[in-house]
Amino acid sequence: MSTSAENIETMGDEETAESYYTHVEGVGAIPRDIYKHVKSDPLGDLPRYSIHIVIQHFLTFVAFLILAATGLSLHFSDLWWARQITFLFGGTDNARLVHKMAAAVMVAASIYHLLTIIGGTLHKVMKKQFDIKKTQIPRLKDLHDLVHDIKYFFGREQFRPKMEKFMYKQKLHYLAILWGTFVLISAGITLLFPEMMATIWPNPAFFQDLARLMHADEAIMAITVIVFWHWSNVHVVPGRFPLQWTFLTGKITREHQIEEHFLEYLNNLKEIPEEREYMKKILKEKGFESKGGDL
Amino acid sequence: MKLSKIFIKPSLYFLMLLMVLSFGFRAEAADKENCLMCHKYRQLGRIDEQGRKKNYNVNENIYANTVHRNVPCRDCHTYITRLPHDPVTEEVSCANECHIKPPFAKENFSHRKIINIYNKSVHAIKENDSPDLKLAKPYCKYCHLNPIYTRVSEKRISYEKTLARCFNCHEKKGVTQAYKHVTHRLAHKTSRSPQEIVQLCSKNCHEDVEKMKKFNVSKESVEAVETYNESIHGKAVALGSQQTADCISCHATSAIHDIYKKDNQKATINPANRAKICRQCHRKVNERFIQIDVHSSINNKKPILFFMNLGLRGALYSTIFGLMFLALIETIGRKRDGIKWQIKGGTTWRGKSKREPKN
């Protein structure tokens, strides 16, 4: 590998974000590009999502596809494929009913998600284990990571930044989903119960028009982002092709964790003794043991 | 013996089938005065003064299946007084009384009542209308253009079960027709499907923006077809919905023909009457609900929504292209660093990095 340790002169007494080696007690000095040397199980090696998140992803995944198919064909009713798709759902009137049922599943999954997230956070706060770095809350570091990652993609930097469990892409996507779901659900309720919502909104005519606009535009935005970006991130890009299994197994591959979520991998090393042993073995095998030096 | 047994039975059945097929079922139309004596001939016709070919043939089988099957010819063609008759110069009037008595009524049947309602509506031809407008306004046959006046589909309400009880006392033929006549009008406000209604009002008329502009109608009216097609009602109907509002659902009462301009007190869409017409579907209608724009479009008269729409569109394109660009440079950058597409043998980083070592 060209990224030899000799070229890196960042080793000092104090470790910085850019350090090539990261010292982990009881393991040794881990080079930043160790992910090029580890072995991974395609189904995943390290825990990433709890069973709740896996179930929530499955519910939203199914509901989203149904909502998109029925919603798009209704919105673009004058296009040739609209009739074929509504036919699959048993005609327009049935397709509209199916859209509402799938929406109910989506709302239920969203509430389930909020309950797990809020409950889990409260639990961590009580146990004094809450760490803002591990959450989806955006920080200035994410912007920093994005800039450095782009530099790496253009070959201007040797290594990707060391990122937490949720990197800038995931935070962006997650916040977009939070906002999108909020908009789609509130606009959807306005469209579904116009009589009731007319009594709540200050200006019924304006808010009905707004709901019509937002529901369609936000949905199209969500569908294009899922189809073009999310699916390429989990199906197409190198390392994820043809399928990233995390959504079913809740586990992430070792090489993926180290490459994109290095700081979370350090947490894994602390929590999982087997992983410590594995990393020690790899460092020894690949001859990094001596270069970094033990602390 | 055996051979004849094999052949006789099937050939008998075949013969019976042939007999049944050759009989056919001839429908009988009301033709007491025997007009069909001449009009049954398919070649009956002439070339008129303008050189147009005219065909006067009446197909009895078709006529006997139309809604007018029980009406004798001269009930509508009243101007025929002797035989052979003079050249016809008049048009039939649907307001004529015919010699049909509807059940439970003493008077002869006529379309007069509905024509009176129509004559008060916005579509009625008024004296001070321009000749163009007079020509553009629809009269009976303009909308009821069913060329052979056949009955519309009667399959919407299943009648076999209900009718079975009627047959205990009533004769099958008469009561079946009467029952269908009533019930197919109950299934839906109009006999026609929402799709047919929308097409009827749009085609060659309300969708023709240039034509509508000539007749001094409001801007909302000119855009009505377009805004309807953009609305949830229009979209669902375009996809084949049978439960969604068409033009007639909102613009007329059950009299169908009483369509007025919005500012007319009698108009169903007049703010004073709107709640009533919306309640047909939206049961929980209230004062604020009826303020909602049904034929809505987002244009520069609604600046907030207009710029929001533009902004959202810009956000959509910039997001998609931005994210796709990120995915592209990410893929290229990681590929150059030696990653392969698929994980094999426990690693994806099987390639050699093409990056220049940093010095």
Does any CB of chain A come closer than 8 Å to the CB of residue B310? no
Q: What is the pLDDT of residue A181?
A: 96
pLDDT band at A291 (very low <50, low <70, confident <90, very high): low
User: Is B323 in contact with A41 (Cβ distance < 8 A)?
Assistant: no
Lookup: tokens for B113:
């009542």
Assign A154 a pLDDT band (cuts: 50, 70, 90).
very high
Cα nearest neighbour of A173 on chain B: B323
Cα–Cα distance between A76 and B140 in angstroms, integer?
Answer: 35
- Residues of chain A neighbouring B291 (CB-CB closer than 8 A): 198, 204-205
Position B202, amino acid:
S
* Contacts B348 to A, Cβ<8 Å: 40, 238-239, 255
Supply the ipTM of this predicted assembly: 0.89
- The whole-chain average pLDDT of chain A stands at 90
DSSP bridge partners of A28: A24
On the question of a cis peptide bond just before residue A242, with omega within 30 degrees of 0, the verdict is yes
The per-residue pLDDT for A206 is 95
For A248, the token pair is: 């079913």
Q: Compute the C-alpha angle B30/B34/B35, nearest 5°.
A: 95
In this structure, are residues A20 and A223 in contact, taking their beta carbons and an 8 Å threshold? no
CA distances from B183 to A252, B155, B180, B309 (A): 64, 10, 5, 46
B319 reaches A (C-beta below 8 A): yes
Please state the φ and ψ torsions of residue B150, each to the nearest 5 degrees. Answer: -80, 165
Contact yes or no for A74 and B236 at CB 8 A: yes
B293, B300, B309, B326: best to mutate for the A interface, most A CBs within 10 A: B326
| Cβ contact B329–A229 (<8 Å) | no
- B104, two tokens: 């439970």
Residues in chain B: 359
Q: Which of B158, B146, B151, B141 is nearest to B181 (CA)?
A: B151
Question: Which residues of chain B make contact with A36, given a CB cutoff of 8 A?
Answer: 338, 347, 349
Which ranges of chain A would DSSP assign to H, the alpha helix?
A: 51-75, 80-88, 91-126, 140-153, 168-192, 194-200, 204-224, 231, 246-249, 254-260, 262-271, 273-286, 289-292
For B44, B52, B87, the CA distances from B47, given in Å and listed in that order, are 11, 5, 12
Phi-psi region of A60 (alpha: psi -120 to 50; beta: other; left: phi over 0): alpha
Quick check: B262 and B251 in contact, CB under 8 A?
A: no
**What angle (nearest 5°) sits at the alpha carbon of residue A223, between those of residues A118 and A60?**
35
Which DSSP string corresponds to B44-58? Answer: -EEE-TTS-EEE---
pTM score of the predicted model = 0.83
Q: How far apart are CA B86 and CA A219, in angstroms?
A: 69
What stretches in chain B show pLDDT beneath 70? 1-5, 21-29, 145-159, 184, 187, 357-359
Name the least confident of A168-172, A195-199, A269-273, B65-69. Answer: B65-69
Query: Does a cis peptide bond (omega within 30 degrees of 0) precede residue A204?
Result: no
Q: B68 with B151: CB under 8 angstroms?
A: no
What is the distance in angstroms between the Cα of B220 and the nearest Cα belonging to chain A? 16
**CB-hemisphere CA count at 13 Å for B95?**
9
- On the question of pLDDT at A295 being above 50, the answer is no
Which pLDDT belongs to residue A286? 86
Interface test with A, best of B304, B330, B332, B356 (most A CBs within 10 A): B330
Residue of A nearest to B338 (CA): A36
Chosen from A72, A237, A252, A285 to mutate, greatest number of chain B CBs within 10 A = A237
A274, A46 contact by CB (below 8 A): no
- Rounded CA-CA distance A162/A263 in Å is 6
Q: Where are the domains of chain B?
A: 21-93
Report the pLDDT value the prediction gives residue B167, as an integer from 0 to 100: 87
Select from A81, A98, A143, A153 the residue whose CB has the most chain B CBs within 10 Å, as the one to mutate to test that interface.
A153
Strand partners, B45: B55
Confidence at residue B27, expressed as pLDDT on a 0 to 100 scale: 57
DSSP H or E run through A23: strand A21-24
For the ranges A91-100, A192-201, B123-132, B348-357, the lowest mean pLDDT is seen at B348-357
| Dihedral-angle region of residue B189 (phi above 0 means left; psi in -120 to 50 means alpha; beta otherwise) | alpha
Amino acid (1-letter code) at residue B207: E
Residue A4 and residue A266 in contact, taking contact as beta carbons nearer than 8 Å = no
Give ∠ CA B319-B325-B331 in degrees, rounded to 5. 135
What would the two tokens of residue B89 be?
């110069």
Nearest chain B Cα distance for residue A125, angstroms: 35
From CA B232, how far away is CA A75, in angstroms rounded?
8
Chain B residues lying within 8 Å of A155, measured CB to CB: 333, 336, 355-356
Classify burial at A193, counting beta carbons within 10 Å of its beta carbon; exposed 0-12, middle 13-18, buried 19 or more.
middle
pLDDT of amino acid B65: 74
**Tokens 């097609």 identify what position?**
B229
Kindly report the backbone phi and psi dihedral angles of residue A29, in degrees, each rounded to the nearest multiple of 5, phi listed first.
-90, 120
* Residue A2 pLDDT: 40
Q: Span A186-208, mean pLDDT? A: 95
Cβ contact, residue pair A239, B341, below 8 Å: yes
Nearest to B355 by CA among A20, A153, A33, A262: A153
pLDDT of residue A10: 42
pLDDT-based confidence at residue A17 (cuts at 50, 70, 90): low
Contact B349/A at CB under 8 A = yes
Percent of chain A scoring above 90 in pLDDT: 83
| Beta partners for residue B344, in sequence order | B347
Q: How many other C-beta atoms lie within 10 A of the C-beta of residue B164?
A: 9
Bridge-based pairing state of the strands A21-24 and A46-47: unpaired
Examine the pLDDT at A6 and tell me if it is beyond 60: no
B334: contact with A, CB 8 A cutoff: yes
Which among B240, B305, B348 is the nearest to A92, CB-wise? B240
Residue whose structure tokens are 């940093």: B358
Q: Is B328 on the interface with A (CB under 8 A)?
A: no
Contact map slice: B 226-285 vs A, CB within 8 A: 229, 232, 234-236, 238-244, 282-285
At A222-280, the pLDDT tens digits run: 999 999 999 999 999 999 988 999 999 999 999 999 999 999 999 999 999 999 999 99
pLDDT band for position A8 (cuts 50, 70, 90): very low
Contact A205 B291 (CB under 8 A): yes
pLDDT at A109 over 90: yes
What are phi and psi for residue A201, nearest 5 degrees? -65, 140
Q: Which residue in A133, A145, A150, A162 sits closest to A259, CA to CA? A: A162
Residue appearing with tokens 């939070």: A178
Q: How far is B289 from chain A (nearest CA, A)?
A: 5
Residue of A nearest to B243 (CA): A93
Among residues A241, A222, A271, A266, the alpha carbon closest in space to that of A28 is found at A266
Query: Do the Cβ atoms of A259 and A237 come closer than 8 Å?
Result: no
Q: Which two tokens stand for residue A105?
A: 């599943």
Q: Where are the alpha helices (DSSP H) in chain B?
A: 2-23, 36-39, 60-63, 73-76, 112-120, 131-136, 140-143, 160-166, 172-186, 194-201, 209-214, 219-222, 224-230, 232-238, 247-251, 274-278, 303-336
| Cβ separation A92–B339 shorter than 8 A | no
Kindly report the nearest CA distance between residue A222 and chain B, in angstroms.
9
According to DSSP, residue A166 is labeled S
